[in-house]
Amino acid sequence: EVHLVQSGAEVKKPGESLRISCKASGYNFATQWIAWVRQMPGRGLEWMGIIYPGDSDTRYSPSFQGQVTISADTSITTAYLQWSSLKASDTAIYYCTRHWEGDWFDPWGQGTLVTVSS
Amino acid sequence: QSVLTQPPSVSGAPGQRVSISCTGSNSNIGDGFDVHWYQQVPETVPKLIIYNNSSRPSGVPDRFSASRSGTSASLAISGLQAEDETDYYCQSYDSGLSGFVFGSGTRVTVL
């Protein structure tokens, strides 16, 4: 069975850096794209970007290009989402999810709540 | 503002049928890209309920059905139940943005 397990909730100050993780199991991690999705408080789902762990080919939504970095380590079947300088507006739940060839997403990680506050 | 537009809310009595629209454009649904639907209970993880416009994953009740036509898609829930009261999102790919897009989301209320 496929599982995506994300790292725990984070509380950070504006300007700090952060990397959250998504540990995959139950499938060939290197050969399936994995995406990150943001959900701000009380808001909808926003696709941030996607990575192919096998060769680290990464695509970003124009809204998130330059704001975050997506990476992956095939040796430990883990994908990452990182910020170099957090803003209060980065406060949200972040989900990782596996991409299927037909362009849908399933399953989803449990989500990581990131709170940025001074 | 979402690329795919959904009504903020729809409602229906138990047992009734409700429908949720997902309106796109010629760069996404109208360009032939498939539509997928997710159910999200507040504070929980999104769950895939429809893929490839009208297919249901194993375990999803056949009360849920969906279709795509032109630049739009729709999700229908028949025999509405109290447990269906939650949020629903459509999703597709946009060639203009070269990326995936979600609908704005619809809250279903069971009266």
Instruction: Classify each residue of A44-53 as buried b or exposed e, where b means 16 or more C-beta atoms within 10 Å of its C-beta.
Output: bbbbbbbbbb
Q: Which residues pair with B87 in a beta bridge?
A: B40, B107
| Mean pLDDT across B61-88 | 97
| pLDDT higher than threshold 90 for residue A88 | yes
CA dihedral over B56, B61, B67, B72, signed as positive or negative? negative
Q: Do B89 and A106 touch (CB under 8 A)?
A: no
Residue type, A74: T
| Mean pLDDT across B53-68 | 97
Testing the interface with A: which of B100, B104, B107 to mutate, by most A Cβ within 10 A? B100
Q: Do B57 and A106 touch (CB under 8 A)?
A: yes
| Mean pLDDT across B34-46 | 95
| pLDDT higher than threshold 80 for residue B6 | yes
| pLDDT higher than threshold 80 for residue B27 | yes
**Which among A6, A20, A4 has a CA at the least distance from the CA of A116?**
A20
- Tell me which chain B residues have a C-beta less than 8 angstroms from the C-beta of A37: 46, 102
Instruction: Classify each residue of B13-43 as buried b or exposed e, where b means 16 or more C-beta atoms within 10 Å of its C-beta.
Output: eeeeebebbbbbeebbbeeebbbbbbbbeee
pLDDT at B43: 85
Span A24-69, pLDDT tens digits: 999 999 999 999 999 999 999 999 999 999 999 999 999 999 999 9
Q: Which residue of B has its CA nearest to A109?
A: B45
Shortest Cα distance, chain A CAs vs residue B104, angstroms:
6
pLDDT at A117: 97
Q: How many CB pairs under 8 A join A and B?
A: 69
Helix H or strand E segment including B100: strand B99-102
